[in-house]
Amino acid sequence: MPTQTFAFANQKGGVGKTTTVLSLAACLADAGQRVLVIDFDPQANATSGLGQEKLEGHSVYDALLHGQPLATLIRQTEFPNLDLIPSEEDLAAAEVDVPRAERYLERFKMAIEPIKAAGTYDFIFVDCPPSLGILTMNALVGVERIVIALQCEYYALEGLTVILRVVEHLRSSGANPTLDVEGIVMTMFDSRTNLAHQVVEEVHKHFADKVFKTIIPRTVRLSEAPSFGKPIIHYDRHSAGATAYMALAKEFLKRQRAEQAAAVVVAEPAVPPAVAPAAPAAPEPPSPPVA
Ligand SMILES: Nc1ncnc2c1ncn2[C@@H]1O[C@H](COP(=O)(O)OP(=O)(O)OP(=O)(O)O)[C@@H](O)[C@H]1O
Ligand SMILES: [Mg+2]
Digit-coded pLDDT (tens) for 66-99: 999 999 999 999 999 999 999 999 999 999 999 9
User: Does the pLDDT of residue 119 top 70, yes or no?
Assistant: yes
Q: How many domains are contained in the chain?
A: 1
Nearest CA to ligand 1 atom 2: 218
Q: Is the CB of 9 under 6 A from ligand 1?
A: no
- Residue ranges in 70-155 assigned as alpha helix (H): 94-97, 107-118, 134-142
The CATH number of whichever domain residue 32 belongs to comes to: 3.40.50.300
Domain-located, residue 278: no
In a domain, 286, yes or no: no
Band (pLDDT 50/70/90 cuts) for residue 283 is: very low
**211 occurs within a structural domain:** yes
CA 253 to CA 251: how far, in whole Å? Answer: 6
3-state secondary structure of 189: strand
Cβ of 50 below 6 Å from ligand 1? no
Q: Which atom of ligand 1 is nearest to the CA of 21?
A: 18
pLDDT at 111 over 60: yes
**Ligand 1 atom 16 nearest Cα:** 16
CA of 218 to the centre of ligand 1 (A): 10
What's residue 271's pLDDT?
A: 55
Task: Locate the ligand 1 atom nearest the alpha carbon of residue 15 and give its number.
Answer: 21
Looking at the domain assignment, is residue 42 inside a domain? yes
Integer distance in angstroms from the first to the last C-alpha of the chain?
Answer: 71
Q: Which residue, among 74, 73, 142, has the nearest Cα to 107 in the 3D structure?
A: 142
Rounded percentage of the chain residues whose pLDDT exceeds 70: 91
222 lines ligand 1 (CB under 6 A): yes
DSSP E strands in the chain: the ranges are 4-8, 35-39, 75-76, 82-85, 123-127, 145-151, 180-187
- Residue 129 DSSP label: -
CA of 185, nearest ligand number: 1
**Is a pLDDT exceeding 70 seen at residue 275?**
no
Provide the pLDDT for residue 286. Answer: 46
Judge whether 280 lies within some domain. no
Give me ligand 2 centre to Cα 181, in Å. 19
**Which of the four pLDDT bands, split at 50, 70 and 90, describes residue 263?**
confident
From the list 8, 232, 5, 6, the residue with the least C-alpha distance to 130 is 8
Q: Is residue 218 part of a domain?
A: yes
Cα–Cα distance measured from residue 177 to residue 39, given in angstroms and rounded to the nearest whole number:
24
What separation in Å is there between the alpha carbon of 167 and the centre of ligand 1? 23
Q: Is residue 287 included in any domain, yes or no?
A: no
Distance 155 CA to ligand 2 centre (A): 18
pLDDT surpassing 80 at residue 268 = no
Ligand 1 atom 31, closest CA: 223
The ligand with the least distance to the CA atom of 16 is 1
Contact between 81 and 120 under an 8 Å Cβ cutoff? The reply is no
Q: Does any domain span residue 277?
A: no
**Boundaries of domain holding 244:** 4-267
HSE toward the beta carbon, residue 223, CA cutoff 13 A: 8
> Is 291 a residue whose pLDDT tops 50?
no
| Interval 241-260: pLDDT, tens | 999 999 999 999 999 999 88
